[in-house]
Amino acid sequence: MTANHTDYSIRQAFDPATGSQMGSGELRENFHIGDLFNPDRINLIYTHYDRMIVGAAVPTTAALELETIKPTGTPGFLDRREMIAVNVGAKGSITVDGESHALDTRDMLYIGMGSKVTFASDEAGTPAKFYLLSAPAHQKYPTKLIRIGDAKRVDLGSQATSNERSIFQFIHADGAKTCQLVVGMTQLAPGSVWNTMPCHVHDRRMEAYLYFDLPETARVFHFMGEPDETRHIVMANEEAVISPPWSIHSGCGTSNYAFIWAMAGDNVDYTDVDAVPMETLR
């Protein structure tokens, strides 16, 4: 479905029993998000998991205004929603209610409910790539720019377990206020390939991953499903995946990589997870 410069699609929600019966094609059709970053387009995927919208804006030759889409049911896209935009491309800017915010690569902007938004690139030949995440909101919080250097950094793992990584928490309980979005980025060190292992689930929140900084020929095997009924989806660079609340979300790559994780649901407590013991995985 298409608006002036906006494409959108809808993903329905599935229970774990249905998910366990899906083959590779069905898993990709329902949970994998490819072709996300398209020049001069805003691409949005409206999910029925906590009404999260996953999308991208790539302003190449001109600025792109955030247009409303039918699934939100509102005259303006953010009339009853909040949004986070993370730049994974070249330098760009986001104008919110007339105020411009400059974003370098890996910087993030939180945008509160009711805002009017426009995306732009600094140079037409090297566009910004804004990864978009939106969820329903109950009140308006201030717009806030968080640069990658200002994010809360936590270093975890080791080379011995192939998961030496740095977690950058953009949105957390002690930082910018949101209604329900929690967002961060994880960067794996050279030689490390595993993320979020040992794994966990959190039935109170859904999650979405964007894998990026992958070489063209590299892949990440993203693991999902209930702990005793795991499945996998093969991911390439700048592809996203939806993780239902009942599913694990973990991955292993053929090289190191980065990914942006985002949650929406009942609370904004990053540590509120249910750990999965390794011996229960099947």
Contact yes or no for 14/247 (Cβ under 8 A): no
State residue 198 phi and psi, 5-degree precision: -60, 145
pTM of the model: 0.96
Write out the two tokens for 231: 């499945």
- pLDDT tens across 171-186, in order? 866 678 999 999 999 9
A 10 A CB-CB count for 242 gives: 24
Contact yes or no for 87/104 (Cβ under 8 A): yes
- Burial-class residue 25 by CB neighbours within 10 Å (0-12, 13-18, 19+): exposed
3-state secondary structure at position 188: strand
Whole-number pLDDT of residue 1: 55
Measured CA to CA, the distance from residue 173 to residue 238 in angstroms comes to: 28
- pLDDT tens across 49-64, in order? 999 999 999 999 999 9
Provide the residue-wise pLDDT of the chain in tens; the chain has 282 residues: 556 899 999 999 999 999 999 999 999 999 999 999 999 999 999 999 999 999 999 999 999 999 999 999 999 999 999 999 999 999 999 999 999 999 999 999 999 999 999 999 998 778 999 999 999 999 999 999 999 999 999 999 999 999 999 999 988 666 789 999 999 999 999 999 999 999 999 999 999 999 999 999 999 999 999 999 999 999 999 999 999 999 999 999 999 999 999 999 998 887 889 999 999 999
Measured CA to CA, the distance from residue 100 to residue 189 in angstroms comes to: 34
